[in-house]
C-alpha cells in the first residue's frame, strides 16, 4: 500500500508516461513541465517532438478525519477544468489517482458536463482513472464516456521551442 499522496502521484506520473508511450508515436515526455506559462504534471509531444501536444493534470482523493472529502474533490475538479481553459494543447487529460470510479464520474458529471468541452465544442478533456493503490503496477483506463477529443491549438512554434530548450524526461531512442 502506498504511504502518502506524494508517492501515489509519483507512481501515477510514471504509469501515465508509460500509457502515453504506448498510445503515441515516438513521444517526448516531460514531467512537471512549465508549458506556456502553466504547470502541467505530464506533457507529451508526439512524433519526436513535432506532433500533437498532450497535457495531463493529476489529482488524488482527499480525506478529512478518515472520511472522503467529497466537497474538496469537487473543488479540485472545478479548479482543474478552469486551469485547462488556458493551457494550450491538442489533447488534455485530467487523471484521478486512486479515486473511486463512481466518485470520479460524479465529480465531472461525465456525459453532461459541458466544462469538459472547449467553448466551440471542438475538443474535450479526457478523464483517466489511475489505480496506484497496490504494490502491483498502476493501471490506467479512460473513464467511460470521457475519452479526449482533439482541441484546436496553434502551438507548433511553442512545441518546437519547448523541445529545443528542454530535455525530455522520457523518450524513445532509435
Confidence of residue 111 (pLDDT cuts 50, 70, 90): low
What is the pTM for the complete model shown?
0.91
Alpha-carbon distance 68 to 99, whole Å? 10
Q: Which of 95-109, 131-145, 160-174: highest mean pLDDT?
A: 160-174
Mean confidence (pLDDT) of the chain? 87
Tell whether domain 5-171 is in CATH 3.40.1350: yes
Q: Residue 63: is its pLDDT beyond 80? A: no
Tens digits of residue pLDDT in 27-53: 999 999 999 999 999 999 999 889 999
Q: Residue 116: is its pLDDT beyond 50? A: yes
Residue 5: predicted pLDDT: 80
Q: Which residue has the higher pLDDT, 43 or 2?
A: 43
Q: What is the DSSP string of 72-130?
A: HHHHHHHHHHHHHTT---SEEEEEEES--HHHHHHHHTTTT-GGGB-TTSS-B-EEEEE
Residue 27: predicted pLDDT: 93
Amino acid at each position: 500500500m502506498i504511504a502518502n499522496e506524494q508517492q501515489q502521484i509519483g507512481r501515477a506520473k510514471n504509469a501515465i508516461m508509460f500509457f502515453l508511450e504506448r498510445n503515441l508515436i515516438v513521444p517526448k515526455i516531460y514531467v512537471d513541465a512549465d508549458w506556456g506559462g502553466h504547470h502541467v504534471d505530464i506533457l507529451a509531444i508526439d512524433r519526436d517532438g513535432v506532433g500533437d501536444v498532450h497535457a495531463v493534470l493529476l489529482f488524488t482523493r482527499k480525506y478529512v478525519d478518515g472520511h472522503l472529502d467529497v466537497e474538496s474533490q469537487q473543488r479540485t475538479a472545478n479548479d482543474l477544468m478552469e486551469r485547462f481553459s488556458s493551457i494550450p494543447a491538442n489533447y488534455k487529460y485530467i487523471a484521478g489517482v486512486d479515486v473511486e470510479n463512481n466518485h470520479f464520474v460524479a465529480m465531472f458529471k461525465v456525459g453532461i458536463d459541458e466544462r469538459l468541452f472547449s467553448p466551440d465544442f471542438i475538443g474535450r478533456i479526457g478523464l483517466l482513472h489511475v489505480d496506484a493503490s497496490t504494490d502491483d503496477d498502476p493501471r490506467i483506463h479512460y473513464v467511460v464516456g470521457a475519452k479526449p477529443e482533439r482541441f484546436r491549438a496553434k502551438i507548433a512554434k511553442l512545441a518546437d521551442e519547448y523541445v529545443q530548450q528542454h530535455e525530455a524526461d522520457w523518450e524513445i531512442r532509435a
